[in-house]
Each structure stands twice: as structure tokens, then as C-alpha cells.
Amino acid sequence: MPRAGRVEVAGVRLDPLPEAQVVAHVMDALERGAGGHVVTPNVDICRAATRDPSLRALIDAADLAVADGMPLVWASRLLGRPLPERVTGADLIWSLTAAAADRGLPVYLIGGPPGVAEAARDALCGRYPGLVVAGVHAPPYGFETSAAAMAEVRARLVAARPSLVFAGLGFPRQDRLIAALRSELPGAWFVGCGAAIAFAAGSVRRAPAWMGNHGLEWLYRLLGEPQRLARRYLVDDLPFALRLLTGALLRRALQPREE
């Protein structure tokens, strides 16, 4: 069931929380021994969820769902139910890790090509002395279809006993994996973080902050990887975002004004 207080935007229900409150919520829950799942829907994820009810249910089932995309924030404002800010997995990997380091809580990184999670671990440990990284793992592509590979992922994770798990495998693979593994570590928090591990490692460059704040991070990534991302951004996501904002604007214009 959707969590109380969520705001519906682009067909998905999102928690109206700024990043600092997300971090505080996760840390408070960890202190109580309560685990959870953070999902960070962006325009592409919302577009997929409008077509597949199982993906929408996956987002609804997460303990926290926060908007990773300025078009979602803009649409929420037009609809009169504003989300306070964009909250990305690429930011949470730093802010949650900082909080975990302060409290001595172990983290775990899963995802990325070989060597990327290790590089991200080194970058995080370099910024936050005393950080405990309980493990890193780069499972092979398609591992979720192999019982043996899934058993290895499960065994590594359970043996590491982390408090905080960053799964950077892309939606919905990472979030389906989280749903399958949560019962093994009921006191841990799992964050579906997409490319955040690669960003932290420096193997993929992130857009400057001003581009992200103006909804242009997609353009930066498109210019860097045009062959891989052109269809996703130009054919699928950009028209969806324009329809979303146009629809929100029309709904706002047609709302009866209060006297």
C-alpha cells in the first residue's frame, strides 16, 4: 500500500522529503534496528511504471520513494503538492555514507563493471576516514537469471552483515533484487542508486550541479554517451517529461480559483 503523505506525480507516489530528512529517517530507523528500502524514481522510471503495474507496485512498496529528477519536482509544484527538492541516488551515496561513517555503521556496494565498486569504496573511504565498507561485489550481467549467481550474491551479502547497502544495478533490477534480499537482512537499509557507484568511483562523470538543478543532467549524459542514451532521452523520456509538465500546467490552469 502507498505510504501516507505521499504525493502522486507522473503516476507514482513520492515522499515529499528533502535529502537531509531522508538521511535522518534512515539513521533513526537503523538505530531502532529497523531496515528499509529507498527507491529514487526519475523520469525514465516513472515512464516505465506508467506502462507496467508491477513496477509501480515496486515503487509503492519501498519505504521511501524520492524524486530523482527536476521535471518531477516542477510538475509537483504546478499541481500544488510540491516536492521540496530533487533527491538523487548519486547524492545519497555520499550523504548516507557520511552519516554511516559517523556512527560506525558498515556499508556494502553492489553493482557496476569489475573494479568500479572497488574504486567507489576507495573514494568513499578517502573522503570519510573510519568508514567501514563491509564488502563490494560486481555480479556478472544477467546474474539474476542464474540460481547459482543469485545464491552467491545472497551469501556474500549475508556474510558481510552491512547496515547500509547501495545497489547500483539500474531500475528495476536493483529494486527487484532488494525486494528478494530484504528478508535476509531485516535490520539493513537498501538504496537503489543506479549509476551512483560509477559516479562515486569517477568512472562516469556527473553533470555540474547547476545543470542538475536546472533539469539538464540528462543533456550532459547524452553528450557523453550519445549512442547509448539517445533513444532513451530523446525518443522516450523527453516527450514523456513534456507531456507531464504540459498536463500539470493545464490542470493548474483549469483548477477553480479560491475567492
Mean pLDDT of successive 10-residue segments in the chain (259 residues)?
78 96 97 96 95 95 95 94 95 97 97 93 95 94 90 94 96 94 94 94 91 91 92 93 93 71
Give the pTM.
0.92
**Strands 164-168 vs 36-39: parallel, antiparallel or unpaired:** unpaired
Looking at residue 213, what is its pLDDT?
87
With contact defined as beta carbons under 8 Å apart, do 94 and 166 qualify? no
Largest CA distance in the chain: 65
Phi-psi label, residue 108: left if phi above 0, alpha if psi -120 to 50, beta otherwise: beta
Instruction: Enumerate the β-bridge partners of residue 9.
Output: 12
Buried b (16+ CB within 10 A) or exposed e, 116-129: bbebbbebbbeebe
Element (H, E) at 134: strand 133-137
* pLDDT value at residue 257: 64
User: Which one, of 127, 209, 224, 109, lies nearest residue 168 by Cα?
Assistant: 109
